[in-house]
Amino acid sequence: MSRPTPSRRPLSGEGPVILHRATDPRWLPLALEHFDAVLVDHAHCEKKAAANALSMLQAYPDLPGLPAQMARLAREESAHLARVLDLMEARGLTLTKDAGDPYAQGLQKLVRTPALERRLDRLLVAAVIEARSCERLSLLAEGLTDPALARFYGELAQSEDGHQSLFFRLAVTANGGDEAAVRERLEWMLGHEARVLDEVGLRAAIH
């Protein structure tokens, strides 16, 4: 599989979530310098992505298409986790306790409380996280000098691009097919996501 070319669409890959702000150029040198820390954080991200897919399945089994899609997604994210853990083991790293992700936590604060609004917002937050992950993994694919690692992160970036599209499509379904209203809510979220990036600052982490 070929490596992605983020220059074609550097803020989001090929999916519907167009991020309002590119990652700070200082992030990639920091991530490469502390790549072991990034790997550990990446493992936690894949773990939480798999858990989130199962949580969506548990919460919204009646949304058309969601159960099968989330079951497949949980399996895919778990496979990614296993591959990252293999990389860590090869480098003599162990999985530390999850200290939490301030980026994801900041986005979760945007989720509204009423049931229907909460369902929509959870799906859109997941889409935004996948879009940001796509961008960051694409940057790693371009910056890593080890060909095998670069290829691995290129493959993962393409997967994340597909995931952001999946969550966006499910959000439209959850909102009765009203894509315009979903895009309006998404744009509002993306404006806040840019501010969350400022609050989190530069970290040797995926987000």
Each residue's pLDDT tens digit, 30-83: 999 999 999 999 999 999 999 999 999 999 999 999 999 999 999 999 999 999
Question: Does 196 or 10 have the greater pLDDT score?
Answer: 196
CA–CA distance, 96 with 113 (Å, rounded to integer): 32
Instruction: Decide if 32 is inside a domain.
Output: yes
| Mean pLDDT computed over 122-143 | 98
Cα separations (Å) of 177 from 118, 130, 169, 180? 17, 21, 9, 9
Shortest CA distance to 4 belongs to which of 165, 12, 76?
12
Mean pLDDT for the chain overall? 93
Instruction: Decide if 175 is inside a domain.
Output: yes
Instruction: Decide if 43 is inside a domain.
Output: yes
Instruction: Decide if 6 is inside a domain.
Output: no
- Predicted TM-score (pTM) above 0.95: no
Cα separations (Å) of 108 from 101, 105, 139, 191? 11, 5, 25, 14
Instruction: Decide if 116 is inside a domain.
Output: yes
Per the structure, the count of domains in the chain is 1
The CATH number covering residue 69 comes to 1.20.1260.10
Instruction: Decide if 48 is inside a domain.
Output: yes
Query: Which band of pLDDT confidence, cut at 50, 70 and 90, is reported for residue 16?
Result: confident
Query: Quick one: what percent of the chain has pLDDT higher than 70?
Result: 93
Per-residue model confidence (pLDDT) at position 3: 35
Q: Coil, strand or helix: which one is 177? A: coil
Domain carrying residue 141? 26-94+102-200
CA–CA distance, 140 with 152 (Å, rounded to integer): 10
Q: Are 66 and 122 in contact (CB under 8 A)?
A: no
Cα separations (Å) of 31 from 23, 96, 137, 168, 204? 12, 18, 11, 28, 5
Question: 163-176: b or e for each residue (b if 16 or more CB lie within 10 Å)?
Answer: bbbbbbbbbbbbbe
Residue 4 has pLDDT above 50, yes or no: no
At 144-170, the pLDDT tens digits run: 999 999 999 999 999 999 999 999 999
Instruction: Decide if 61 is inside a domain.
Output: yes
Query: Quick one: what percent of the chain has pLDDT higher than 90?
Result: 91
The region that residue 202 occupies, defined by phi over 0 for left and psi between -120 and 50 for alpha, beta otherwise, is beta
Instruction: Decide if 11 is inside a domain.
Output: no
